């Protein structure tokens, strides 16, 4: 295990969560408020997606207030802009460049090699080549989540709704839709599958992909098809495309489950949301840098450190179901329960 280097006399009360770090690097001198800056390269969907990008932006804003960072974000319209946007950010020589999303894994590897003295972080990903082989870099921190934990908890709620025939949940069938089958999405859906099966072994889980994180029309089509096949509850893991998927549930008088952020603002039909504290991961990383610390490699956010969970539930969900979900959360927090990261594909 690599050691953490203390640069100044100020010691952090809590260092970012550790998991077999690849390297630890000092920043030379304690960072002054005037020198702190961050560039956040967003994924497609925009800063106001009320989900993944917005959570990263919120984490940056919180760090600005707490530590005096000068922060800016760079919008991304399409995947071909990943390398140019990360390069443009690195050329300003900020304290940290953050890549928002696992789809930037190849881009972060390319740019991190070109700017070896620049510190980077990537949310939901690791530096990887075109064959998806990870190549950890001394200047890249990987901000990763146990999405299967959050997925499991909302799966428990969905399974209990179906098992007990609450409201419109009458067909003992639920659905899930990812945007693209990237690892974080697969982990979310795996948790959902196994959480529902835990409380209702006979439940049927329909799984599909819109092949997009932005196309709401494609998401809506997948949702309508799953509802036609009997699904009463739809769990989206597809960003903007997932909004179309959830709309299919609303249009059919069914239920939805949001992702990453609390999407209960969409309406009472949203039973809950699987939470991923992207804002916390960004804030913690910037906090540590403000105190002179940087550690490359994986940083894991999970139930134990508040990185995963589920959002407040709709009034449709019985309180006893929430208590059951919370009991599973405590088991995850203690390490007694470790949801699988894959699900059956046939």
Beta strands, E only, 84-191: 96-100, 120-123, 140-145, 173-178
- State the CATH architecture for 147-275+315-334: 3-Layer(aba) Sandwich (3.40)
| Segment (H or E) for 294 | strand 293-301
Q: For residue 212, what pLDDT is reported?
A: 94
Task: Report the distance separating Cα 328 and Cα 159, nearest Å.
Answer: 14
Q: For residue 237, what pLDDT is reported?
A: 97
Task: Report the distance separating Cα 166 and Cα 233, nearest Å.
Answer: 11
DSSP labels, 221-236:
HHHHHHHHTT--EEEE
Q: For residue 290, what pLDDT is reported?
A: 96
Q: Using one digit for the tens of pLDDT, what is the confidence trace for 288-321?
A: 999 999 999 999 999 999 999 999 999 999 999 9
Q: Where do the structural domains in the chain lie, given as residue ranges?
A: 23-145+278-301, 147-275+315-334
For 241-273, letters b (16+ CB in 10 Å) and e give bbbbbbbbbbebebbbbbbbbbbbebeebbbbb
DSSP labels, 22-33:
SEEEE-SSPPPG
In this structure, what are the phi and psi dihedrals at residue 341, rounded to the nearest 5 degrees? Answer: -105, 0
Q: For residue 34, what pLDDT is reported?
A: 55
Q: For residue 46, what pLDDT is reported?
A: 87
Task: Report the distance separating Cα 213 and Cα 78, nearest Å.
Answer: 11
pLDDT tens, N- to C-terminus, the chain (346 residues): 332 223 233 322 333 333 323 334 444 444 454 589 999 999 998 898 888 899 999 999 999 999 999 999 999 999 999 999 999 999 999 999 999 999 999 999 999 999 999 999 999 999 999 999 999 999 999 999 999 999 999 999 999 999 999 999 999 999 999 999 999 999 999 999 999 999 999 999 999 999 999 899 999 999 999 999 999 999 999 999 999 999 999 999 999 999 999 999 999 999 999 999 999 999 999 999 999 999 999 999 999 999 999 999 999 999 999 999 999 999 999 999 999 999 998 7
Q: For residue 62, what pLDDT is reported?
A: 97
Nearest-Å Rg of the Cα atoms of the chain is: 20
pTM of this structure? 0.88
Q: Name the residue among 62, 42, 64, 66 with its Cα closest to residue 54.
A: 42
Angle made by CA atoms 191, 192, 195, in degrees to the nearest 5: 80
Q: For residue 168, what pLDDT is reported?
A: 98
Assigned fold of 23-145+278-301: Rossmann fold (3.40.50)
Q: For residue 314, what pLDDT is reported?
A: 97
Q: For residue 236, what pLDDT is reported?
A: 98
Q: Using one digit for the tens of pLDDT, what is the confidence trace for 41-84?
A: 999 988 988 888 999 999 999 999 999 999 999 999 999 999 99
């Amino acid at each position: 295990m690599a050691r953490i280097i203390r640069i100044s006399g100020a010691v952090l009360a809590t260092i970012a969560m550790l998991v077999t770090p690849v390297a630890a690097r000092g920043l030379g001198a304690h960072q002054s408020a005037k020198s702190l800056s961050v560039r956040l390269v967003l994924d497609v969907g925009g800063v106001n997606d009320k989900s993944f990008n917005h959570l990263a932006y919120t984490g940056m804003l919180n760090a600005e207030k707490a530590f005096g960072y000068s922060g800016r974000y760079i919008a991304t319209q399409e995947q071909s802009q990943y390398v140019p946007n990360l390069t443009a950010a690195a050329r300003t020589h900020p304290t940290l460049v953050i890549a928002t999303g696992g789809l930037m894994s190849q881009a972060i590897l390319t740019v991190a090699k070109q700017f070896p003295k620049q510190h980077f972080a990537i949310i939901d990903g690791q530096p990887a080549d075109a064959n998806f082989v990870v190549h950890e870099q001394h200047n890249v921190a990987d901000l990763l989540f146990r999405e299967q934990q959050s997925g499991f908890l909302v799966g428990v709620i969905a399974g209990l709704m179906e098992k007990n025939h609450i409201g419109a949940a009458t067909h003992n069938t639920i659905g899930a839709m990812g945007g693209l089958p990237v690892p974080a999405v697969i982990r979310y859906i795996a948790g959902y599958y196994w959480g529902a099966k835990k409380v209702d072994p006979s439940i049927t889980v329909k799984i599909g992909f819109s092949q997009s994180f932005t196309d709401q029309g494609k998401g809506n089509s997948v949702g309508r098809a799953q509802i036609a096949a009997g699904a009463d509850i739809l769990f989206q893991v597809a960003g903007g495309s997932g909004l179309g998927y959830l709309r299919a549930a609303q249009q059919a008088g069914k239920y939805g489950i949001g992702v990453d952020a609390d999407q209960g603002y969409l309406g009472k039909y949203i039973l809950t949301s699987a939470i991923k504290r992207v804002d916390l991961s960004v804030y913690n990383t910037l906090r540590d840098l403000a105190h002179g610390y940087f550690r490359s490699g994986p940083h894991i956010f999970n139930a134990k450190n508040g990185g995963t969970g589920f959002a407040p539930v709709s009034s449709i969900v019985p309180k006893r179901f929430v208590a059951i979900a919370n009991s599973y959360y405590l088991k995850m927090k203690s390490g007694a329960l470790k949801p699988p990261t894959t699900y059956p594909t046939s």
